[in-house]
Structure 1
């Protein structure tokens, strides 16, 4: 369903100064994200989606700085710019809180890695410390799910905001600019929704995990890898050997670090986008 929405949102339109590098780059970035299916819950695809958003907002900033775009928006896009300012604030808040959650997750991963190394060296000692680590992580994951659900609620308001104003302006160029920016926002919502659903998901039980694997095999797809589910399994001791556990934790750390960096990059780009909108309003 989400993919159908993206396809609909990413239709080609007539943009002002279409030959401009920023305009063509914007379209290419939109199309690139279009090919990434983040709705599978795969950590890898969501990482790619977030990285794609950071690139997309670089081109959006350039697009907003174009003289033709600024003239069009200044002449009749005041209501739309207020919508953009509200949406940008919500997206910035979502990115900021999500980034902080990833920073804290990173700390838990390092803590578990440290205990695993000590346990391997001591031959099974340090059980009390591992119990404390598990207890701390359980509390953190509970808070993460709660925060993710709140952020999903905020994200719905961003998505709804992109549909409240009808494109009934007489100026076709203004309609094209509004449609372009709204497509950027809609794609952002799809990717961030997939990421937040990843955070809010509970550890799969054996039956649901087996059913998922069998379905993916039947559809000739590899099972989607959920990095947080892997971390949950590591925390609760579902791995048979220390080597397997260490390998998985190293992969988890790389992925969490990627989420952290991409969210930080997107947050900074959203700040710059907001500054561009405020600049148009002030002039």
Structure 2
């Protein structure tokens, strides 16, 4: 009798045909189609798409039938796994936010210095400060990418769920996490620069998709990568000691700052969405 009751509750879970899960599938397909994005505008669009995706996920989790089913003891393992994943994604988002903020502050400081200076004397020291800061940013990003890779491996190696209806919901949530990981990988690689993929690949920590993104960076050139372009311009300016290049470098720094500001706004909105979903999952665990 208890078994019949259990299956009755399980079968009431939203299926892939439910309006909300259908919306989630549509968003997943759009993001998968653009997951090789390597420009700031396309990455920003994907972050915006992730916001919509996680909003639908929260709507799914808010459904009483979903909460009742996932609150069952049989589902606790999968809900805890989902919760652990949400914490990791929030940590990675925090790393990306810190990296963008640190790079933006250094960029703004250099712009101010370049506006005041009439020569390149002493500029090398300022650029070295910028490059040292960028090195610290890249180190933090490498660690975040390793964590994402670990999470990705854990998702792919997880055992399948036998119950068809429960499996549909859990499968959707896992697919959402997988796509979110891919989008955050793109963002982190963009912030760090095209060389990040080659460095990480020597540690066998980068997937084939991440390698493809690196190739796209190289094919499209630094003109589509505002942060890397500004960094390269600064290196060239100090090496040549030619003040004629200052205006060009200032433009690159300005473009980098605007790019960072746009990514910051999208990332902050995504961060709030992830926190909202995490609170919902925590409430389910506490039921």
Normalised to the residue count of structure 1, the TM-score between the two structures is 0.78
Q: What corresponds to 1:9 in structure 2?
A: none
Check 1:137–1:203 CA distance in 2 against 1; reply closer, same or farther (3 A cut): farther
The C-alpha deviation readout for 1:95-137, integer Å capped at 9, x for no partner, is 1121011111111111121122223xxxx23632x33321211
Distance 2:139 2:235 in 1: 21
- Distance in 2, matches of 1:270 and 1:62, equals 13
CA RMSD after TM alignment: 2.6
Equivalent in the alignment of 1:208:
none
> 2:141 aligns to what?
148
For 1:93, the equivalent position in structure 2 comes to 91
Structure 2 residue aligned with 1:260: 264
**Pick from 124, 133, 137: which aligns with 2:126?**
133
> Match for 1:118 among 116, 122, 128?
116
Task: Give the Å deviation of 1:17.
Answer: 7.4
Structure 1 residue 247 corresponds to structure 2 residue 240: no
Provide the rounded CA distance (Å) in 1 between the counterparts of 2:252 and 2:185: 25
What number of residue pairs does the alignment pair up?
249
| TM-score, scaled relative to structure 2 | 0.77
Report the Cα offset of residue 235 of structure 1: 2.2
* C-alpha displacement of 1:55: 2.0
Identify the range of structure 1 (179-188 vs 246-255) with the bigger mean alpha-carbon deviation.
246-255
Aligned counterparts of 2:33 and 2:168: Cα–Cα separation in 1: 23
Answer with 45-54 or 86-95: which moved more. 45-54
List per-residue Cα deviations over 1:130-187 (Å, max 9, x = no partner). Answer: 33321211111111121111111111122123234322322x2210001100110000
**Are the equivalent residues in 1 in contact too, given 2:226–2:252 (CA < 8 A)?**
no
Shift of the 266–86 alpha-carbon distance from structure 1 to 2, 3 Å rule, reads same
SS of match in other structure, 1:149: helix
Offset of residue 65 of structure 1: 0.6
Partner of 2:273: 269
CA shift at 1:87, angstroms?
0.9
Deviation of 1:72 after TM superposition, in Å, equals: 2.5
Q: Structure 2 CA distance, aligned partners of 1:136 and 1:59?
A: 43
Unaligned stretches of 5+ residues in structure 2:
1-12, 197-214
Of the three residues 181, 189, 192, the one matched with 2:173 is 181
Q: How far off its partner does 1:190 sit?
A: 0.9
Matched-pair contact (CA < 8 Å) for 2:40–2:263 = no
- Show the counterpart of 2:188: 196
Q: Which 5+ residue runs of structure 1 have no aligned equivalent?
A: 1-13, 205-211, 217-221
Shift in Å, 1:203: 6.3
Q: Report the Cα offset of residue 25 of structure 1.
A: 2.8
Alignment of 1:1-283 (within 5 A): 16=15, 18-20=17-19, 22-38=20-36, 41-75=38-72, 76-119=74-117, 124-125=118-119, 127-128=121-122, 130-170=123-163, 172-201=164-193, 216=219, 222-223=220-221, 225-238=224-237, 241-283=245-287
